[in-house]
């Protein structure tokens, strides 16, 4: 199976030959940080263009087609526009919190990149509580949204922030319980253990009904957590102008915009890791010949293919379902998804104890 660990090993050995262990570690961290920031920039450009092209395809139109061949440089042009726009701070705003909020959103997104396995043996930090770490750190995102809404000194921003806070706190419960389903079946919180447990088949196939239910609930819950349509009440343009980032412009608005798309990538990467095997190729039991052929496809291709499939699914929702009202949104979580999730975790526990999964 193709692996990217040779690249990281060669860099590690070269740095240790050139510098002391302390400086080598510092340079490795700097390189990792630069790679994450570069990945953020690339994801922002790719996902914005993908969003526009997918929406155009859904609506039977062309989408961006002026800047570059077939409009592929449209996102780059928009980025340049945002960079040169002046960042305004409204009168009466809490300047410290107003300016700090977009940076917290980006910092949280960067922290969430740490445990994700992008390929075989290619992971920033394989800590033994990886799933718990992701659930805990992702909860901090709501602080930046509440901070932005309150500090803006704008009633629309505050209403959008309050909606988003209620929405994220509510749907975190169902997302967490659906993640627990995989933890129960795997018996580990470690990301690498969860991926290795799917070497003979992805959980979505071998976990039976509990995993299918958990997968559906997870996709719905993370769509709501990332404020994506049809759960985009925090940014309802027809009601709240732009929600919690109404008063933001220039680079600070760009940071919120980028953080939203990066969060979509992260939740889809976590979903691909938990339910679809992450970088693990499609293996079927003891079909040695088939499994051997699948191993020829690079592990990074498997990971990004699954992740972008889930991103496409979430983008599909936007052009399929109308926006929910706030009461419908909370009813869906507290009256339907949460009870189903609680029953499903009991069902998954029974399946794990009795060994009914493949």
Is pLDDT of 243 > 80? no
What Rg value do the Cα atoms of the chain yield, rounded? Answer: 21
Distance CA 131, CA 128 (A): 9
Q: What is the per-residue pLDDT for 212?
A: 94
Q: What is the per-residue pLDDT for 4?
A: 66
Distance CA 306, CA 284 (A): 17
Is pLDDT of 45 > 80? yes
The phi, psi pair for 4, rounded to 5°, reads -100, 5
**CA proximity to 122, closest of 20, 19, 39, 27:** 39
Query: Quick one: average pLDDT of 112-130?
Result: 87
**CA proximity to 179, closest of 222, 209, 208, 142:** 222
Distance CA 327, CA 30 (A): 46
Angle at Cα 303 formed by Cα 230 and Cα 36, nearest 5°?
85
pLDDT greater at residue 253 or residue 235: 253
SS3 content of the chain, % helix, strand, coil (to 5): 70, 0, 25
Q: With both helix axes pointing from N to C terminus, report the angle between 95-112 and 250-275 in degrees, rounded to the nearest 10.
A: 30
Q: What is the per-residue pLDDT for 239?
A: 60
Query: Quick one: average pLDDT of 20-34?
Result: 88
Is pLDDT of 242 > 80? no
Q: What is the per-residue pLDDT for 85?
A: 84
Domain residue spans of the chain: 88-354
Is pLDDT of 338 > 60? yes
The DSSP string of 59-118 is TTS--S-SSSGGGTTHHHHHHHHHHHSPPP--TTS-HHHHHHHHHHHHHHHHHHTTT-EE
Distance CA 110, CA 266 (A): 10
Element (H, E) at 119: strand 117-119
Half-sphere exposure of 14 (CA within 13 A, CB side): 8
The DSSP string of 249-275 is -HHHHHHHHHHHHHHHHHHHHHHHHHH
Give me the residue label for tokens 């009633």: 155
Is pLDDT of 357 > 70? no
Task: Share the mean pLDDT of the chain.
Answer: 87
Where does the pLDDT of residue 241 fall: very low under 50, low under 70, confident under 90, or very high at 90 and above?
low
CB atoms inside a 10 Å sphere around CB 92: 9
Is pLDDT of 3 > 70? no
Where does the pLDDT of residue 289 fall: very low under 50, low under 70, confident under 90, or very high at 90 and above?
confident
Give me the residue label for tokens 């740095």: 15
């Amino acid at each position: 199976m193709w692996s990217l660990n040779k690249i990281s090993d060669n860099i590690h050995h070269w740095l240790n030959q050139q510098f002391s262990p302390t400086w080598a570690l510092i340079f490795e961290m700097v390189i990792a940080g630069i790679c994450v920031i570069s990945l953020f920039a690339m994801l922002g450009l790719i996902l914005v263009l993908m969003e526009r092209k997918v929406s155009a395809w859904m609506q039977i139109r062309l989408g961006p087609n002026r800047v570059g061949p077939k409009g592929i440089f449209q996102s780059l042009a928009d980025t340049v526009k945002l960079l040169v726009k002046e960042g305004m701070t409204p009168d009466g705003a809490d300047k410290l919190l107003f300016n700090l909020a977009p940076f917290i959103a980006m910092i949280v997104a960067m922290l969430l990149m740490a445990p994700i396995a992008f390929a075989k043996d290619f992971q920033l930090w394989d800590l033994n509580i990886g799933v718990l770490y992701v659930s805990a750190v992702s909860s901090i995102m709501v602080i930046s949204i509440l901070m932005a809404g309150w500090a803006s000194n704008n009633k629309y921003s505050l209403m959008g922030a309050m909606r988003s806070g209620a929405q994220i706190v509510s749907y975190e419960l169902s997302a967490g319980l659906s993640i627990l389903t995989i933890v129960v079946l795997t018996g580990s919180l470690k990301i690498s253990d969860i991926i290795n447990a799917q070497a003979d088949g992805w959980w979505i196939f071998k976990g039976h009904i509990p995993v299918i239910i958990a997968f559906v609930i997870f996709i719905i819950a993370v769509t709501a957590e990332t404020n994506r349509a049809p759960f985009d009440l925090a940014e309802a343009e027809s009601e709240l102008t732009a929600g919690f980032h109404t008063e933001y412009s220039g680079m600070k608005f760009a940071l919120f915009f980028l953080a939203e798309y990066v969060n979509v990538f992260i939740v889809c990467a976590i979903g691909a890791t938990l339910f679809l095997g992450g970088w693990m190729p499609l293996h079927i039991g003891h079909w040695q010949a088939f499994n051997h052929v699948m191993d020829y496809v690079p592990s990074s291709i498997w990971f990004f293919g699954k992740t972008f499939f889930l991103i496409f699914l979430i983008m599909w929702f936007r052009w399929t379902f109308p926006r929910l009202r706030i009461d419908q949104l909370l009813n869906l979580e507290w009256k339907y998804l949460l009870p189903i999730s609680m029953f499903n975790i009991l069902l998954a526990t029974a399946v794990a104890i009795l060994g009914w999964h493949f």
